[in-house]
Amino acid sequence: MDLKSVDFIVDKYQEKRTALISILHDVQDRYRYLPEEALRMIASRLRMDINEIYGVATFYKSFSLVPKGRHSITLCMGTACHVRGGPKILRELKSFLCIEPGQTTSDKQFSLNVVNCLGVCAIGPVMMVDQKFYGEMTPIKARRIIEKINNKRSGVKS
């Protein structure tokens, strides 16, 4: 694994331990997860115990120690979205992507997660793909959004 980016990121924050969370965010943005080799390098550069680094990396839900997909799909299963059909959408996504929440497709294109509220209950059921909200979701709409992203990647016009 090429760790030059990790060096560059740590340099950017001048090896400051107080910048650990920002460093981890930047590393995750670069690799789409926190590779073990990167965490070891950060520990060495910041002269910190590797367990301390792991402690921070596992404490925050936004960090992942396993590779994430290129596109992040987050489905809300909070009460407002649940009663309006969230479970049906989840079934469709699981069957279409062949993964469970918390997993990534084998082609590393999509990661699926569920949360308890995305803060936009009025437009539920809600799905978020790469920071963009999609409201009044249905199973068919959810599948079409994923297909559209897939088609864009493969150059198929939709």
Q: Site residues (CB under 6 A) for ligand FES?
A: 76, 78-81, 117-121, 124, 126
Is 90 in contact with 75 (CB distance < 8 Å)? yes
Nearer to ligand FES among residue 138 and residue 150 (C-beta): 138
Q: Which is nearer to ligand FES, 94 or 135 (CB)?
A: 135
Rg (CA), the chain: 18
Residue sitting closest to ligand FES (CB): 78
Q: Output the smallest distance, CB 115 to ligand FES, in A.
A: 8
Nearest distance, CB of residue 119 and ligand FES, angstroms: 6
DSSP 122: G
Quote the least distance from Cβ 138 to ligand FES, whole Å. Answer: 15
Nearest to 95 by CA among 139, 154, 134: 139
Question: In the complex, what is the shortest distance from the CB of residue 84 to ligand FES, in angstroms, rounded to a whole number?
Answer: 9
User: By C-beta, is 56 or 121 nearer to ligand FES?
Assistant: 121
Q: In what order do the strands lie in the sheet with 127-129?
A: 110-115, 71-76, 127-129, 132-134
Query: Which lies closer to ligand FES via its Cβ, residue 69 or residue 78?
Result: 78
Burial letters for 89-102: b for 16+ Cβ neighbours within 10 Å, e otherwise? bbebbeebbebebe
